[in-house]
Structure 1
Amino acid sequence: MANLPLPVWRVIRPITRLYFRLSRPLTAGVRGLVRDERGHVLLVRHSYVDGWYLPGGGVERSETMLTALTRELDEEAGIILRARPRLFGLYANFREFKSDHVALFVVEHGTYERVARSSLEIAEYDFFAPGALPEGTTPGTRVRIGEVTGGLEPAELW
């Protein structure tokens, strides 16, 4: 669906959200906090929703969380994992779905390769210093970055 023109996607997105809310009482997602050699973190800006986010997405049927993370990082930002990332925390997010659970993985510099990637789903992506995140970085993204870079325990809720 991410390949649809933006005006079409903005109409279809609320309908798909309602469908998933009713048909999937439990959902799982993944996010990756990818750091470069400077300690900067990778953020993505989607073409269909405002804000900057950690890359990631939903876990599909017959897919492990690690497989989903590997797929999402490659699709969204050309990050090819070469080593197993560290699971940082498991979060619940009840805003979007009845029961959405998100796993946050930390991907350190030296454990991945970068490949130039373009996608209709991703408007742009870049690495940012944790203390100088771009305007529009979502509150949940800011908190997760603070937890990881500040050595804090992960919260229970996203």
Structure 2
Amino acid sequence: MTTGSRDAFRQTGWAGLRARLFHVYFVLRRPMTLGVRGLVQDKASNSVFLIRHTYVPGWQLPGGGVEVGETLAEALTRELAEEGNIALNAPPVLRSMHFNRRSSRRDHVGLYLIEHFSQTAPKLPDHEIAEAGFFPLDRLPEDTTPATLRRIAEIFGGEPASPYW
């Protein structure tokens, strides 16, 4: 193993371990988990908004867990504001529900399409978000997660929605 590949493994290994610890924490805290993700589309530039977390590898759709007492729409609104400085200008459209068996045996994710929004300012890096931005559909980042690519193909490519995240 070369020094470069060893460093890449350490980086990915620690990120993976960190992600698993977060999932274990949430499973213990909330045995049944429900999450939301938002596919924010800028029609004018034919682009979508993606984020890269500090604790897991890859670019993905913004979103997160639904807190106790929140609706799916309230959780989505909160997550978009926190992760992208994005505010909804019209109700989002629930496009699909998915079983996220890679996270746990009881995790489900609602995917919303957001076409009417505003962004007060570009999202700057913080403790949770390493990078964020809009990317043209034909030039997505190389390390966009497989689940994100599947959701984009389902919405924009006419692929049938998978029951799995």
The alignment's TM-score, normalised by the length of structure 1, stands at: 0.86
Output the amino acid matched with 1:114. Q
Cα distance in structure 1, aligned partners of 2:158 and 2:27 = 34
- Per-residue Cα deviation, 1:10-41 (whole angstroms, up to 9, x for no partner): 67654442233244331100000001122211
Matches within 5 A, 1:26-65: 26-36=32-42, 37-65=44-72
Report the Cα offset of residue 99 of structure 1: 0.9
1:25–1:97 CA contact under 8 A, matched in 2: no
Alignment partner of 1:142: what SS? helix
Name the counterpart of 1:3. Answer: none
Comparing 9-18 and 130-139, the one that deviates more: 9-18
Q: Please, which moves more after superposition, 65-74 or 14-23?
A: 14-23
Residue identity over aligned pairs, in percent, reads: 48
Any stretches of 5+ residues in structure 2 without a counterpart? 1-13
SS at match of 2:45: coil
Higher helix proportion, which one? 2
Q: Is contact 2:96-2:110 (8 Å) kept? A: yes
Cα offset, 1:152, TM superposition: 3.0
Residue-pair matches, total = 148
Q: Which has the larger radius of gyration?
A: 2
Alignment of 1:113-152 (within 5 A): 113-116=118-121, 117-118=123-124, 119-152=126-159
**TM-score under structure 2 normalisation?**
0.82
CA RMSD of aligned residues (A): 1.8
Deviations 1:50-69 (A, max 9, x none): 10000000000000000000
- What residue number does 1:112 align with? 117
What is the identity, as a one-letter code, of the residue corresponding to 1:20? Answer: F
Cα-to-partner distance string for 1:82-124 (whole Å, 9 max, x where unaligned): 110111100001111221100000011xx11101243321111
1:29 and 1:49 map into 2 onto residues whose CA distance is: 16
**Bigger relative contact order (CA 8 A; separation at least 6):** 1
